[in-house]
Amino acid sequence: MELIIAVIAIIVLAFIVIISNIHIVQQSRAYVIERLGAFHAVWNVGLHLKIPFIDRVIRKVNLKEQVLDYPPQPVITKDNVTMQIDTVLYFQITDAKLYTYGVENPMAAIETLTATTLRNIIGDLELDQTLTSRDTINGQMRVILDEATDPWGIKVNRVEVKNIQPPADIQNSMEKQMKAERERLQAILQAEGTKQSAILVDEGQKEAAILRADAEKQAAILRADGEAQAILLVQQALADALKLLNEANPNDQVIKLKGLETMEKVANGQATKLVIPSDLAGLAGLASSAKEFLK
């Protein structure tokens, strides 16, 4: 009976040992396995069985892209301005073996390397260049860090300078400078607006004067054209009257009578001198004969 209990105990113990040495590796994970203290294999996604007391999982590695947000670091620019700069690092482990055996405490190593690289890059730039060259700084840091961490099985995908804080006095000076620049631009815009307004007013007055002169010109042309048309009509009427008179073949008495009517119109005018024809008596007699005839 004791033997049976011992066998059952051994079987249960063996079952527990086997179960405890079965490992399921999840997606985006990798297990680094050592056998008798030496590197043996890297387990990727799936079911794996470890040899008890011989194999050992030395590290479980996360293969997803990870983010490290570093606190502000003091850096000195080329023109000796001390400022605080904080960075964000996006990286991914590409080789679990190199990540495990490449460097002791890889996260601390990356942080230190990031700080020193940032100081080296900023040390070659002046303050104005530092404030306006974020893309350049990001690109240089990514290239340097990616190359340096490659033996550690780490790929640096992106580096971002999150915030740049210059000293308080320099920041106040920059704010005053920006304020003065905004005021200068505002003054220029106001002056330009006043200038454009004056130009538009002058152009409007000029166009109005041109339109008035053109209108007066057109009115004068129309008046002159009307007077010319009136004179032509009067002359045409006279010509028609003479034509009809000639066609009627008038005698001397009619002609003299027309002449008398003309003299009457002349006498009613504003002339100061009159030229009286020599045959005035004949005209007077003709007038008397005309009056007797009308009676």
List pLDDT tens digits, range 43-83: 999 999 888 889 899 999 999 999 999 988 899 988 888 88
Query: In this predicted structure, which of 22-26, 145-149, 161-165, 232-236 has the lowest mean pLDDT?
Result: 232-236
What is the pLDDT averaged over residues 107-123? Answer: 92
Q: What is the percent of the chain where pLDDT is above 90?
A: 31
Separation of alpha carbons 246 and 285, rounded Å: 24
The token pair that represents 87 in the structure block: 């960075």
Confidence check: pLDDT of 3 > 50 = yes
Task: Give me the pLDDT at residue 259, please.
Answer: 58
Residue burial 162-194, b: 16+ Cβ < 10 Å; e: rest: eebebeeeeeeeeeeeeeeeeeeeeeeeeeeee
> Between residues 175 and 98, which one has the greater pLDDT?
98
Separation of alpha carbons 120 and 112, rounded Å: 12
